[in-house]
């Protein structure tokens, strides 16, 4: 595919390189090839070679352009102004074909899909090696692959895809257009909303870690609730969400949860949260809307996190966070206060030297 064809398809502006290449003395076919190279693949920036188009999605990375071997690069629209102001040779000494886009990330994704089309949706139908209980209700255009187990009174909406070895226990409900990847287990009475994605190894509805120890032994507490995922929730591989004791553990609409996240029983997770890998949320905790927990954040049990809170990686949260903002450290503290603490800690060696010198001075004075 010629670069000019690709640019016309995407609809972005291209860099004017005719003068640049004519100054090198190129003419004819050689000039045409430089101005309109053949594009055969779309790859990440570090992998780009001749014939590749790649993505440079930030002006901060513009200096990397000079070292690229790509035949073409897609850039954000504001890069066009900067290149015009500073001169093409400063940032693009190799004269790489450039495509400027208002949405470079999305446009590059379209180009990648063109050269490497995604695997099509599997055909609808029930595999002969799947088990589907006779009381289950199956919607239209559902795909049930080999070794799937669908228990009694399960309800599956339209266009759902169940990959191999998915297990849906009694009374489970799966909303329209949801996808469950291999080895997902959904315990009895749990509910998955529409357009949800559950990656391999997800477990919904296992017993909560709650015990009555009053007798001197750890006796499992009642586990009579369920897990409810609202619409458009995504769960990463091997994430687990425990069922409520009497009610529901809930995950709010649009929340996205990374791999290896654990959410305890009775938790109420708000809408549009982002929970990164290895986050752990102990039982009966609540988050508001648009909360972000970076990797390895730990939330204690029975606490509440306000909406629009961002918690930095490896932070430990022992109590409520009632104000929107960014929090770091253990115990998690507002970022401004934590920055002051970081500065103070870095200065401790100097303070120690000063104190030591003062102590030695006092000792010498006392001897006299």
SS3 of 28, please? helix
Determine if the peptide bond prior to 181 is cis (ω within 30°).
no
DSSP letter for 41, please. E
- The tokens describing 27, both together, are 């003419």
Element (H, E) at 149: strand 149-150
Report the distance separating Cα 50 and Cα 69, nearest Å.
6
Q: Token pair of 269, please?
A: 């997770």
- Told to judge if 302 belongs to the known catalytic residues of this protein, a careful annotator would answer no
How many CB atoms lie under 10 A from the CB of residue 138? 17
The candidate with the shortest Cα–Cα distance to 270, out of 284, 258, 254, 259, is 254
How far is residue 128's CA from residue 83's CA, in Å, rounded to a whole number?
60
Among 163, 218, 265, 302, which one carries the catalytic annotation?
Answer: 265
Taking a C-beta distance cutoff of 8 angstroms, is the pair 175, 231 a contact?
yes
**Token reading at 211:** 């015990």
Burial tier of 123 (Cβ tally within 10 Å: 0-12, 13-18, 19+): exposed
Q: Which residues are catalytic?
A: 265
């Amino acid at each position: 595919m010629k670069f000019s064809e690709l640019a016309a398809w995407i609809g972005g502006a291209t860099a004017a390189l005719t003068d640049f290449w004519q100054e090198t003395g190129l003419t004819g076919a050689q000039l045409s090839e430089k101005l309109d190279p053949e594009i055969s693949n779309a790859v990440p920036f570090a992998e780009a070679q001749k014939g590749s188009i790649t993505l440079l999605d930030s002006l901060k990375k513009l200096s990397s352009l000079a070292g690229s071997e790509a035949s073409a690069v897609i850039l954000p629209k504001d890069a066009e102004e900067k290149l015009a102001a500073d001169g093409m040779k400063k940032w693009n000494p190799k004269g790489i074909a450039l495509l400027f886009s208002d949405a470079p990330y999305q446009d590059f994704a379209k180009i990648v899909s063109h050269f490497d089309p995604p695997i099509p949706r599997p055909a609808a139908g029930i595999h002969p090696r799947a088990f589907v209980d006779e009381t289950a209700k199956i919607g239209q255009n559902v795909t049930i692959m080999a070794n799937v187990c669908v228990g009694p009174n399960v309800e599956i909406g339209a266009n759902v895809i169940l990959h191999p070895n998915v297990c849906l226990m009694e009374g489970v409900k799966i909303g329209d257009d949801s996808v469950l990847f291999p080895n997902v287990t959904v315990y009895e009475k749990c509910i998955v909303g529409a357009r949800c994605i559950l990656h391999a190894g997800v477990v919904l509805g296992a017993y909560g870690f709650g015990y009555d120890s009053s007798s001197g032994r750890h006796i499992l507490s009642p586990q009579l609730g369920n897990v409810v995922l609202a619409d458009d929730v995504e769960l990463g591989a091997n994430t687990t969400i425990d069922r409520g004791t009497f009610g529901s553990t809930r995950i709010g609409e649009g929340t996205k949860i990374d791999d290896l996240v654990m959410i305890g029983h009775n938790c109420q997770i708000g809408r549009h949260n982002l929970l990164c890998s290895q986050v752990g949320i102990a039982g009966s905790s609540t988050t508001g809307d648009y909360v972000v927990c970076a990797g390895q954040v730990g939330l204690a049990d029975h606490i509440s996190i306000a909406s629009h809170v961002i918690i930095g990686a490896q932070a430990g949260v022992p109590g409520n966070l009632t104000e929107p903002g960014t929090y770091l450290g253990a115990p998690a503290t507002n970022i401004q206060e934590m920055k002051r603490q970081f500065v103070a800690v870095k200065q401790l060696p100097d303070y120690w030297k000063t104190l030591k010198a003062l102590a030695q001075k006092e000792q010498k004075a006392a001897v006299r």
